Chains A and B, each alone.
Chain A
Amino acid sequence: MKLTEPEVRAIADLANLHLSDQEIARMAKDLDEILTHIDKLNELDTSDVEPMAQVLFDAGETATLRPDVVGATLDNATALANASQSGAGQFKVPKVIER
């Protein structure tokens, strides 16, 4: 196996994702299969290839920048409308700092 169950748990932790014990076991198996397939990339020598992060098109260097002018934005009530909990114009979350 490429990934042990404790390693899968550590990744889930990094991803802020709660997985049940059953999901962890299944995930280990699925990721193992996929990572084994992905190993195929090692057949290729890419040492002199520039990485491609984005599809590029021709444009001036600053063409995508707009003038620094204040435009319309969402008002406070609209921005909060989809929050699961809000109050006093803020998003509410569980207490972060313990006394």
Chain B
Amino acid sequence: MDVRNLTISTIREGLAAKRFSATELTQDALSFAAAENPKTNAFLAFSPERALAAAGRVDDKLARGEDPGALAGVPVSVKDVIVTKGLTTTCGSKILETFIPPYDATAVERLEAAGGIILGKANCDEFAMGSSNENSAYGPVRNPVALDRVPGGSSGGPAATVAQGTSVVALGSDTGGSIRQPASFCGVVGVTPTYGRVSRYGLVAFASSLDHIGPFARNVEDAATLLQTIAGRDAMDSTSAFAPVPDYGPAMRKDVKGFRIGLPKEYFAGLANETRDQIEKGIDLLRQSGCETVEISLPHTEYAIACYYIVCTAEASANLARYDGVRYTMRSAQAKTLSEMYKLTRGEGFGAEVKRRIMLGTYVLSAGYYDAYYLKAQRVRALIARDFSRAFEQVDALIAPVSPFPAFRLGEKLDDPLEMYLSDIYTITGSLAGIPCMSVPCGTTGAGLPVGVQILARHFDEPGMFRLAAAFERSGGFQV
């Protein structure tokens, strides 16, 4: 069986028609993934025992005539910042090299309860900090579409497994674009749900007010199905929302006649030519499908990077204080005193980008600078969020680029952290506002590099976002 072309619905049909069992599918998926993985380094570790046990449960349910769940038999990769009981979770960091979590993240628990099969843990930038997946202590991930290029980051591993066909869907995390940007670089669908839509319990904290778990898939329906499965209130995360999770199916079948789309003018200024051409072709297609487009303004866009890199580093410096050499795995062998133990363990265990963000975060929170930096950034964040609420008074959704350019070469931007930060501009704004956003494929450049287009919607309007994305997919937008 060719596992590369499977979708959630073809797996469901195949299982129902007894063309294959979940165990056979899982065995095939595991051996295919193991054979293909050396090309990309997308998986850090495989979990065959757990996968086959889960597949066995699905087959048992099918044999008894029970509903095996919405994700029955579906091979999944899970970003290594999401904890899995008994399975090493490194966060792409040396400091957690041998960390074996004692519990499962809520999203993991829910996807397995629905019959999903976790094949293994996917590579990522260390503690999800990066835009190219080059900050992993376990080596970079290569983009399956062009092996000399980065897959994007920080969820480069999960995006690459879905693009490579070594998983059907994946769980990633997004703080400032870490799902949408790699989705666009690898030519797959990536969804950052509304903040609070999916429980963060078991997502290793980077910046708590910005962190999200969300799905990757090769089509809109699969992404929506995975989100549907993991979304909803969880008592273990007090920031998870009470809003009921609607059935995303009916919205995806609606047409988009009269749907009002805003095009934020600030987002079209600094684009690479071919990226702009592709996005414009995509917008034309939406117009042909009956959407109305209006130019709108999000006037505080130019302040988003500065705002984000204060808020996220401040939160990161606090969250990462827990890696002290006491509770989680490694401790420096050189340390003689308590203070040396903290400093040397952290100095040896963290990579350059994590250190940079801890330093910046510590500085902006330090005495005398708190008001000038952290408080100021929180006020600017409110202005950025207000830009979006005003825009959504006029339109149903926004269409924008995901990244100013397609996937770049490994090493190309590694020496200039600020330039790397600046490339996150179109994804960071939605993260700061906490609105749902997604990247869907929008054709390729002449050299065959994928371009993604971003859809941004009102808080909790995932149905509207999926409606537009599904209509775009039906009209051939993925190959525009």
Contacts and interface: CB of A to CB of B under 8 A. Distances in A.
A88 interface: no
Interface string A5-35: 0001001101111111001000100110111
Contacts of B327: 82-83, 91
B209 to A, nearest CB: 5
B306 A41 contact: yes
Contacts of A87: none
B307 A41 contact: yes
Given A38-B310, A81-B102, A96 B338 contact: yes
- Mostly, the B contact residues are helix
Contact of B347 (A19, A53, A85): A19
A63 to B, nearest CB: 6
Contacts of B306: 37-41
Most buried by B among A31, A57, A95: A57
Contacts of A42: 376
Given A40-B302, A57-B241, A82-B99, A34 B382 contact: no
A53 B209 contact: yes
B433 interface: yes
A37 B341 CA distance: 34
A9 to B, nearest CB: 11
Interface string B235-272: 10011011100000000000000000000000000000
Q: Chain B, interface size: which category?
A: 35 or more
Contacts of A40: 302-303, 306
B296 interface: no
A34 B326 CA distance: 32
Contacts of B80: none
A68 to B, nearest CB: 13
B116 interface: no
B418 interface: yes
A46 B380 contact: yes
Given A11-B362, A15-B358, A19-B347, A34 B331 contact: no
B430 to A, nearest CB: 11
Given A17-B355, A38-B306, A53 B329 contact: no
Given A15-B362, A91-B326, A93-B338, A34 B309 contact: yes
Nearest to B306: A38
B380 A8 contact: no
A15 B209 CA distance: 21
B309 A38 contact: yes
A44 B382 contact: no
Given A34-B309, A54-B239, A57-B241, A27 B376 contact: no
Interface string B330-350: 110001111111111011101
B373 interface: yes
A11 B363 contact: yes
Contacts of A8: 359
Contacts of A58: 243
B324 interface: yes
B235 A66 contact: yes
A55 B460 CA distance: 12
Given A17-B355, A17-B358, A55 B326 contact: no
B421 interface: yes
Nearest to B355: A17
A39 B360 CA distance: 14
A53 B242 contact: no
A11 B344 CA distance: 15
Contacts of A38: 306, 309-310, 373
Interface of B: 98-100, 102-103, 195-196, 209, 235, 238-239, 241-243, 300, 302-303, 305-307, 309-310, 317, 321, 324-331, 335-344, 346-348, 350, 352, 355-356, 358-360, 362-363, 366, 373, 375-383, 385, 417-418, 421-422, 433-434, 459-460
Interface of A: 3, 8, 11-12, 14-20, 23, 27, 30-31, 33-35, 37-44, 46, 49-55, 57-59, 63-64, 66, 74, 78-79, 81-85, 91, 93-96
5 contacts: A16-B342, A31-B363, A43-B303, A82-B98, A93-B341
Given A19-B347, A39-B306, A44-B380, 15 more contacts: A15-B362, A16-B346, A30-B356, A34-B309, A38-B310, A41-B307, A46-B376, A46-B379, A51-B378, A51-B382, A55-B196, A74-B102, A78-B102, A83-B327, A94-B341
State the 10 A-B residue pairs at the shortest beta-carbon distance, nearest first.
A55-B434, A18-B347, A51-B378, A84-B331, A46-B379, A52-B382, A18-B343, A55-B195, A16-B342, A15-B362
